[in-house]
């Protein structure tokens, strides 16, 4: 069973002016996939806050997969990819490419998502869009690849 942490990146959710819809949508989707969501947090669109939480989870070895939602667009406060890149040891550009290609089938704006993915320690970190629909569709586009990626990151390289 894959263990998951979900990080919602949203100034408005932190301020209490908007409910987090993406985090719960991702939790529900992970659970239907048979994955265990071990932790969920919400942080503001701040590089240091995002990076700190990603490091805590990845370095704590409690989860194999960290999903972020929000902050992947091109608005001035969208900095999740930059924060994520600052903590990664290896990038996995193919995951972002697949999410954008598949997302384009649902909305032409999917190509504006700058979400990245990569490895820190034995954890896979994936940036997903902030909308519940976009987050779940993006996760679905790579869900069949993630178990293999998690095994490889853990050193299980026998094919």
Identify the CATH number of the domain in which residue 83 sits: 3.40.980.10
Contact (CB, 8 A) for 130 and 44: no
The per-residue pLDDT for 157 is: 87
Structural domain contains residue 117: yes
In a domain? residue 33: yes
C-alpha–C-alpha distance, residues 39 and 139, integer Å? 17
Residue 97 within a domain: yes
Average pLDDT score over the chain? 97
pTM more than 0.95: yes
Domain-embedded: residue 28: yes
Residue 99 located in a structural domain: yes
Percent of the chain topping pLDDT 90 = 98
Q: What is the secondary structure of 45-73 as a DSSP string?
A: S-HHHHHHHHHHHHHHTS-SEEEEES--S
Task: Give me the domain span that covers residue 128.
Answer: 3-153
In a domain, 158, yes or no: no
For 44, counting Cβ atoms within 10 Å of its Cβ (0-12 exposed, 13-18 middle, 19+ buried), the class is middle
pLDDT digits (tens, 9 = 90+) for 34-75: 999 999 999 999 999 999 999 999 999 999 999 999 999 999
50 is a domain residue: yes
Provide the number of structural domains found in the chain.
1
Measure the CA–CA gap between 41 and 98, rounded to whole angstroms.
26
Asked, for residue 19, whether it belongs to a domain, the answer is: yes
Rounded CA-CA distance 31/37 in Å is: 7
Phi, psi of 71 (to 5 degrees): 75, 20
The tens digit of pLDDT for each residue in 134-159 reads 999 999 999 999 999 999 999 998 76
């Amino acid at each position: 069973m894959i263990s998951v942490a979900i990080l919602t990146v949203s100034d408005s959710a932190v301020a209490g002016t908007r409910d987090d819809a993406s985090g719960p949508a991702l939790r529900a989707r992970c659970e239907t996939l048979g994955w265990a969501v071990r932790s969920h947090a919400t942080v503001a669109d701040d590089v240091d806050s995002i990076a700190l939480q990603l490091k805590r989870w990845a370095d704590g070895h409690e989860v194999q997969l960290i999903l972020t939602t929000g902050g992947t667009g091109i608005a001035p406060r969208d900095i999740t990819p930059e924060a994520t890149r600052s903590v990664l040891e290896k990038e996995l550009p193919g995951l972002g490419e697949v999410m954008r290609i598949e997302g384009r089938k649902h909305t032409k704006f999917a190509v504006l998502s700058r979400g990245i993915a990569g490895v820190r320690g034995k954890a896979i970190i994936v940036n997903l869009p902030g909308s519940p629909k976009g987050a779940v569709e993006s996760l679905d586009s790579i869900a069949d690849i993630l178990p293999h990626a998690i095994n490889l990151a853990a050193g299980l390289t026998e094919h």
